[in-house]
Amino acid sequence: MNLAIRDIKYHRGRFLLTCLGVGLLLTIVMSMSGIYRGLVEEALVIIRGVNADLWVVQRDTRGPFAEQSRLAEDVRYRVAIVPGVREVSPFVFYTIQRQRHGQPLRFAVVGYDLRTGLGGPNRIVAGRGLAQKRYEMVADDKLGLALGETLRLGLHDYTVVGLTRGAVGSGGDPVAFFSLADAQEIQFVKDNWAVRNARERAEAAYERALPTQPTLPRELARQFADNPDLHQVNALLVRLDPLADPRAVATAVERWGHFTAFTTGQQEELMLTGSVDKARRQIGLFRALLVIIATVIIAQIIYTMTLDKLKPIALLKLIGAPNRTIVALILQQSLSLGLIAYGIAVVLGNLTFDKWPRLVVVETADQLALLGVVVAICMLASALGIRRALRVEAGAALTG
């Protein structure tokens, strides 16, 4: 006869409610490691998806994901003639936020060269990839856009021709892929109001400059205001010949003095040691705190459950029950509580994690580690209750 199970059955309503509460807490604990893994995965998904041999960015920047990098698009032709380079492709990456049906629509824009395809979507789950250079887009399904839907961005409408899955930017925002020209235009081309404003500013600047530069042509100032340089990119993606040495090519590019070149491994390192590392430490702290909180809560619950049972425990001692019977009663209840709560956490996590706003990646190893932690904290938490139970005198069974 198992006393722990009998007691649980007797108090099943309260016990299950407690399990549910602890289970929700453990769901949060489990999500913490999942969110961290999700952060890492999201931070690296584009870098790994692109899988370039080298990333050429503006000198001394950690672009294009960790910080802003800008370089002229035509640098691609200079890089292309470096020995060992097979292919160079311009790459644009930035995040925008627009309104759609009255709701904010935030996503990362990736602009890539359709000819090379480097930097473009890896896996189309519906529709097709970009087939023409203008006014098409491929969106991640997390954006909620339907195939054929059009989205107004800047001066033009863009039609969704394909959907991807799991394409997210380093900040977790879903990605929309555009042709390079479209991505540049969305970012740089001004609308009529902005053009008028820029003209006025240019006129004012011209008037201010006239006393010192009387030969400055007025038309040049106006033209500059009307036609910004669209041909800017955030990085150049480089594919090397099979036997080329990435470090040698990077050194050759960096020797020009305007650029820095990173391998994919270095890009990943930049992401992981930058913003992701801070998030990792923050989440680690949260996780540790939650484990402590869970331990305290379980300890308190077990202790309270033990206090409720002091008289039966005294009675068991009176009729000669050995300490191991009483220890087993409390320990088994504590473990039952922990394991049922853990089961609730696993089920709840499996059912809901894919609906969380950020990617939550829970691996089997994480689940097993949490199981170990739960067993450990249950044993630790029951120590207080066991200590109290063992101090009860058998004579307490005779009072009231």
Partner 1 sequence: MEVVHVENLTKVYGSGHTAVTALRDANLVARRGELVAILGPSGSGKTTLLTAIAGIIEPTSGRVCIGQTCFYDNGWQVRDLRRFRREHMGFIFQSHNLVPFLTARENVLIALQINGVTGANAVGIAQQLLDYLGVGERQEHLPEKLSGGEQQRVAIARALANSPQVILADEPTAALDTERGKSVMALFRQIAREKGSAVICVTHDQRMIEGFDCIYQVKDGQVSTTSQK
| Window contacting partner 1 (CB under 8 A); options: 7-15, 150-158, 266-274, 330-338 | 7-15
List residues bridging with 174 in a β-sheet. Answer: 168
Tokens standing for residue 152: 């107004």
Which of 118, 132, 127 is CA-nearest to residue 146? 127
Among 325, 350, 363, 369, binds partner 1 (CB under 8 A): 325
Cα–Cα distance between 250 and 259 in angstroms, integer? Answer: 9
Among 198, 310, 321, 379, binds partner 1 (CB under 8 A): 321
Cα–Cα distance between 291 and 374 in angstroms, integer? Answer: 9
6 lines the binding site for partner 1 (CB under 8 A)? yes
Closest separation in Å from C-beta 166 to partner 1: 51
Cα–Cα distance between 257 and 326 in angstroms, integer? Answer: 76
Q: Which of residues 369-398 bind partner 1 (CB under 8 A)?
A: 393-395, 397-398
Which of 104, 108, 121, 95 is CA-nearest to residue 175? 108
Helical axes 12-50 vs 323-352, angle rounded to 10°: 40
272 lines the binding site for partner 1 (CB under 8 A)? no
Is the Cβ of residue 19 or residue 313 nearer to partner 1 in the bound state? 313
| Window contacting partner 1 (CB under 8 A); options: 6-14, 198-206, 290-298, 383-391 | 6-14
330 lines the binding site for partner 1 (CB under 8 A)? no
Cα–Cα distance between 108 and 94 in angstroms, integer? Answer: 6
7 lines the binding site for partner 1 (CB under 8 A)? yes
Q: What is the DSSP letter of 144?
A: -
Cis peptide before 357 (omega within 30 of 0): no
Among 43, 181, 261, 316, binds partner 1 (CB under 8 A): 316
Among 88, 317, 370, 381, binds partner 1 (CB under 8 A): 317
Among 81, 243, 319, 365, binds partner 1 (CB under 8 A): 319
Contacting residues toward partner 1, per CB under 8 A: 1, 3, 6-7, 9-11, 311-312, 315-322, 325, 393-395, 397-398, 400
